[in-house]
Chain A
Amino acid sequence: MAKTLFEKIWDQHVVKTIDGGPSVLYIDKHFIHEVTSPQAFKGLEKRGLEVFRPRQIVATADHNVPTVDQHLPIKDELSRMQVQQLIANCAKHGVELYGLGHPYQGIVHVIGPELGITRPGMTIVCGDSHTSTHGAFGAIAFGIGTSEVEMVMATQCLLQSRPKLMRINVEGALNKGVVSKDIILYIIAQISASGATGYFVEFSGSAIRQLSMEARMTICNMSIEMGARGGMIAPDDTTFDYLKDRAFAPKGAEWDTALAGWKELFSDTDAVFDKEIHIDAATIEPMITYGTNPGMGISVTGHIPSETEITETEKPSYLKSLDYMGLKAGSAIKGKKVDYVFIGSCTNSRIEDLRMVAAFVKGRKKSKDIEAWIVPGSKQVEKQAIEEGLDKIFEAAGFFLRQPGCSACLAMNEDKIPAGKYCISTSNRNFEGRQGPSARTLLASPLTAAVAAITGEVADVREYL
């Protein structure tokens, strides 16, 4: 029988199915971080259990870490305690930890792929919604809550009902200045922040095929922002080339065996999806959000919807969001002054993102009114950026290259956007207060963020290429 990519992987991982209920799904890899794991370890200990398969867990510290002076103790007491708790829990339960100071440390969804821990055909979970990122390798990867983290620690399994399946086909060539972040912001704007709830999404089509692994990760990363359980892309030569020789990728004969299996991972031609969406890549322009959910996106040359374009039920949240953002219904977004530029987060902090920004800002200078931060996703990205001399380019352009972590993606560590300020951010969420109480977030691609840093306002990067 014809199967989708999702079904092939799912079927290989079902331990059993409860009559009229969920399936017991076996989990190959489990990533943990300091914020959503302490209560799970505690719960486990309360039940008198040990971690069932500690070698299938990898831990890192990312959310709470400062992005300057990482060699010093964390100043905030609660953050420091949470990170220390992770160290203690991992030591006690035999879990590998890439904590602060380790050459592999970084944002959990950046390090898994770059270390070759994330691989095609796997089931991967983490107590973090952007686990969907790992789906870019042709894996079933999704975020879970802390009770589920505890379940996986206790049994390496989860109870899951099979989600519905959606395929989003993006065909054609991308316009100049349009990158993968624009594709996903465009899709979410089209189908809304809840448009894929209940679905697992496979992205396919010629426009997806020609993307690099980094760019694919950006797309899968944000599939959660349209409500999807996860996103995935069938592995191909781009995937295999990326993985080959990574630290934990299989080597020698093991590589050959693995590769043969990975090549079977695609949706059969007559496989059936519950829903299919077709998108013409040529219609996508550089995108930016104006509101307080990621579905509120428009082209940088577009205008904020006026009240008449909004349905009755959407109105309260629409009006609240414009009020929060200090933006006017019906107005253009281009030319809007901004205060901060944040290039980072598990969406856009990989080496390719940094290269893209460096290539654009080389020989240019940031506007004097702008505070521009670049936060690499991991120690490895940071190292490579320095080896390639990108740090010099950023410095000359007036950008501040910080140390790896989640940083200003969420207002949990020291990096916050001040109240009322506008920040063009390459992260994934523009929720109220996400980057700091009363901070105003405009989500965009690294290119659109870079041009804003230079001009001091929302600009169309195509005019500068």
Chain B
Amino acid sequence: MSNQSIHIVSTTAVPVDMENVDTDQIIPARFLKATSRDGFGENLFRDWRYNSDGSPKKEFALNDPAYQGKILVAGKNFGCGSSREHAAWAIKDAGFDVVISSFFADIFKNNALNNFLLPVTVSEGLLKEIFSAIKNNPSALITINLPDQTITLEPTGRKERFEINNYKKTCLLNGYDDIDYLLSIRDEIETFENRHA
């Protein structure tokens, strides 16, 4: 929805040091029965976060009070599997604005961008450094600068540029969404339809 925007995020981060995190882990299917977009944060990583009796699993980073912040850091191929946008909603609803990984699954990436959740793709090397920095010191800061397209791991000062499509960047900076744009060219779409039929 077009009431948000992202510029600079500078916070501590929560690590999920696991590769191939699929959207069934991010939000299991049994929680997809709602018909609104809200409240999914509660069940983010449900089965990794809680035992079957509902008690929290202490060792999982989201349950560790030492880890706070608006940035989630995860291993390669994050968000693979089901196209459920509920995964992006859950992460956003749980208070995150940025997800960092060395590789994102396509559909998840689009879903995230459509919900003003910024996926930042970093090199394998930087990802490793981030994991060890925040595990050593959970109060380590990470800064994401969207206008400059840079990410900085503050404790080591290592800085890297990340890619984002120019159009999407403009949307995120200004709080626009794709529907606003597509609606504005409906005439052109209708002209196309006449040709296409």
A-to-B contact residues, CB < 8 Å: 12-13, 15-16, 18, 20-22, 24, 26, 35-36, 38-39, 42-43, 47, 49, 52, 63-64, 76, 78-79, 81-82, 85, 127-129, 143-148, 150-151, 154-159, 161, 163, 193-194, 197-198, 227, 229, 293, 295, 313-314, 316-317, 320, 410-412, 419, 429, 431-434, 437-438
The contact size tier of chain B is 35 or more
B140 to chain A, nearest CB (A): 20
- Check B182 against A24 for contact (C-beta < 8 Å): yes
A385 to B103, CA, bound (A): 43
Query: Can you list 15 A-B contacts (CB < 8 A)?
Result: A15-B188, A15-B192, A38-B35, A42-B37, A146-B86, A147-B177, A155-B183, A197-B77, A229-B107, A316-B75, A320-B18, A410-B24, A432-B24, A433-B24, A438-B52
- Check B107 against A143 for contact (C-beta < 8 Å): yes
Contact of A412 among B30, B83, B106, B189 (CB under 8 A): B30
Known A-B contacts A20-B167, A411-B29, A412-B32; the reply to A316 vs B183 at CB < 8 A is: no
- Check A81 against B81 for contact (C-beta < 8 Å): no
Report B-chain residues with C-beta under 8 Å of the C-beta of A227.
77, 80, 105-106
Report A-chain residues with C-beta under 8 Å of the C-beta of B22.
293, 429, 431
A140 to chain B, nearest CB (A): 14
- Check B35 against A42 for contact (C-beta < 8 Å): yes
Report B-chain residues with C-beta under 8 Å of the C-beta of A82.
33, 35
B-to-A contact residues, CB < 8 Å: 1, 17-20, 22, 24-25, 28-30, 32-37, 47, 52, 75-77, 80-86, 88, 103-107, 110-111, 114-115, 124, 165-168, 177-179, 181-183, 185-186, 188-189, 192-193, 196
- Check A159 against B111 for contact (C-beta < 8 Å): no
Chain A residue nearest in CB terms to B103 = A194
A393 to chain B, nearest CB (A): 32
- Check B167 against A159 for contact (C-beta < 8 Å): yes
Contact of A159 among B37, B88, B181, B189 (CB under 8 A): B181
Q: How many A-B residue pairs have CB under 8 A?
A: 186
Report B-chain residues with C-beta under 8 Å of the C-beta of A145.
83-85, 88, 107, 110-111, 114
Known A-B contacts A24-B189, A81-B35, A156-B189; the reply to A197 vs B85 at CB < 8 A is: no
Report B-chain residues with C-beta under 8 Å of the C-beta of A314.
19
A24 to B181, CA, bound (A): 10
Report A-chain residues with C-beta under 8 Å of the C-beta of B1.
43
B17 to chain A, nearest CB (A): 6
Report B-chain residues with C-beta under 8 Å of the C-beta of A229.
106-107
B119 to chain A, nearest CB (A): 13
Besides A157-B182, A313-B75, 6 new A-B residue pairs in contact (Cβ under 8 A), listed by A number:
A157-B189, A159-B181, A419-B52, A431-B25, A432-B25, A433-B24
